[in-house]
Chain A
Amino acid sequence: MISNVTDEKIKFLEEKAKDIRISIIEMLVAAGSGHSAGPLGMADIFATLYFFILRHDPKNPSWKERDRLILSNGHINPVLYATMAHAGYFPVKELLTLRKFKSRLQGHPHREFLPMLETSSGPLGSGLSQAVGMAIADRMDFGKTSDRFFYCLMSDGELDEGQSWEAVLLAGKEKLGNLIVIVDRNNIQIDGYTENIMPLEPLSHKFESFGFHVEEIDGHNFSEIIGAIGRAQAVFDGPSVIIARTIPGKGVSFMERDYKWHGSPPGTEMKGEPPKDEQAKIALHELRTLGGQIKSEHE
């Protein structure tokens, strides 16, 4: 169960999220390709999970009792790698090898290269099935006495995939109280805004009707993230989903809420955006001085 959240703890998480965002920009610039918006938008949730929620041991990644974090939308792996590095799984400087030949940090997560990952992912819509399988296996072995949790992080766009809903059906059927899904509700996908490409609303009603306990939160508010996970952990008779409203590109003024930055790294020539040679400099300056807390002009 989650202990009380102090202001000091939240400050600590804010610092971690800032470090993670800076690393995301640095690694994307070094790689010259990759996704920007999703990783920046999920930095606060990743910081909260790895630095407050998860029972894990970065020095012993194969510890059997650990909670499992399954990243379904593998394309936001810069945030996964950056968080793991800052948590002590591997050296922070290794982040600069992202997407390079023979790097452990493949363009999409591959656990043959980096065995400390819980799975490989990238093709969308498969992660929840795997998390459900893990949660079922844990129930088979330990029943409801197990206090291990299975966190599946997925995007809103990948809810277009039919397989996501096959897994949702099964999670409801099996009443997996040990499963906590976190949906990155950032409203963008590659071709545009989710509600134009394939409307998902009313999303919370959809999950509820499949037997999920639903939490809707601001994905940048640490107290809300922690509170929602705590309430989800307390639900024993069924799976939970946390629909986390996030700002894609959070912390970099010219990227925030703009779907064009879904799949592009800083340093991309784009109409109406800062000159490509200055994008990384602006992004890093904003992150270092404002720590990701700038207000978007759309707000």
Chain B
Amino acid sequence: MINNSQKLNTKLFDKKVEQVPIRSGFGDGLVIAGEKNPQVVGLCADLTESTKMNLFADKFPKRFVEIGVAEQNLAGVASGMSAMGKIPFISSYAMFSPGRNWEQIRTTICYNDRPVVIAGSHAGVSVGPDGGTHQAIEDIAITRVIPNMIVFSPCDHIEARKVTIASATLGKPVYIRLAREKTPVMTTDETPFEVGGAQLFYGEEMKKADVGIIATGALVYRALQVAETLKKENISAKVLNIATIKPLDVSGVTEIAKTCGAIVTVEEHQIAGGMGSAVAEALSQNFPVPIEFIGVHDKFGQSGTQDELLEHYGMSETEILNACKKVITRKV
């Protein structure tokens, strides 16, 4: 059952659950961050509206720089501005930033340990009709591998707002992974959020369960649905939400492994190098248990609807459900 201490949306499992794009939370959060700190500035590479940075640009036009379609310059200019005391937020599609400008992010931002926040919108195959060129499913891997970088992957627009506000205060390079589509609102303003802390959305702390699902981003919602389905089949599950992929909440991840003895990771990303890999790295050293990975199996995306693509690439609720049952049979 839903973990009440997380103060989640009470209408979470209603058919008409409210749906809002995750990127909207970034737009709202950036305005709040800008109000709190005059050093916060915004830079965008010709995608100001689609990344929701237009809210900031409208409110603080003198603190906004339109860079044009030039993501490499976007990263370098932000690094330079941070050297002068600014806290730059840069936005584009995840495929282009941190995709195209990865080396500039590594060298000018992370190697210099500059407090630049990289917001990558339209991540995952759910972008849909645009096709594989625009579906970033490698971005977690390429950001979490860079020293000094903090990596966030919020599950809904409220969490995205909290992540964005927090990012302006960390004094470190940050990557925020955002999705374009409307996403069910799971959390509330009261849901506790902590940088580097995983949250148990489903199940009871310290209690045993049959399987632990560790999920990130919009797919957390599908993980919760699966937990409900499993309950009807008398299989108990926990769902751990990972909003901070790096630094990973190793103790939270270890705890769910200890109490469940089997783990399924769920993310809209390549299995190689993603959140599931980070979980596996942590568990193999701390508390090895069987793991099944839900994610993209070394393939590029293509055009289609969100549901068609999630099903085709193995990230549907059925796939998550089957993975849960399979991993339980693997328990020693």
| Interface, chain A (partner B; CB < 8 A) | 68, 70, 110-112, 118-123, 125-138, 140-141, 162-163, 166-167, 169-170, 174
Contacts and interface: CB of A to CB of B under 8 A. Distances in A.
A163 B86 contact: no
A126 B107 contact: yes
B252 interface: no
B127 interface: no
Contact of B79 (A112, A130, A166): A130
Contacts of B86: 137, 140
B83 A170 contact: no
Is chain B's binding surface mostly helix, strand, loop or mixed? helix
B63 A140 contact: yes
Interface of B: 41, 62-63, 65, 67-68, 70, 72-73, 75-86, 88, 103-104, 107-108, 111-113
Given A126-B107, A140-B62, A133 B76 contact: yes
Given A129-B108, A133-B82, A137-B86, 8 more contacts: A112-B111, A127-B76, A132-B80, A134-B84, A136-B80, A140-B62, A163-B72, A170-B73
B70 A170 contact: yes
Interface-central residue, B68, B84, B88, by most chain A CB under 10 Å: B84
Given A119-B79, A163-B73, A136 B108 contact: no
22 contacts: A112-B113, A119-B80, A119-B112, A123-B104, A126-B72, A126-B104, A126-B107, A129-B80, A130-B79, A130-B80, A131-B80, A132-B73, A133-B79, A133-B81, A133-B84, A133-B88, A135-B80, A136-B77, A162-B72, A166-B73, A169-B73, A170-B70
Contacts of B62: 140
Interface of A is mostly: helix
Nearest to A131: B80
Contacts of A136: 65, 77, 80-81
B111 A110 contact: yes
A167 B76 contact: yes
A250 B280 CA distance: 56
Nearest to A148: B84
A129 B73 contact: yes
B107 A167 contact: no
B77 A133 contact: yes
Contacts of B76: 126-130, 132-133, 163, 167
A134 B80 contact: yes
A123 B104 CA distance: 8
B102 to A, nearest CB: 11
Contacts of A121: 107
Contacts of B72: 125-126, 129, 162-163, 166
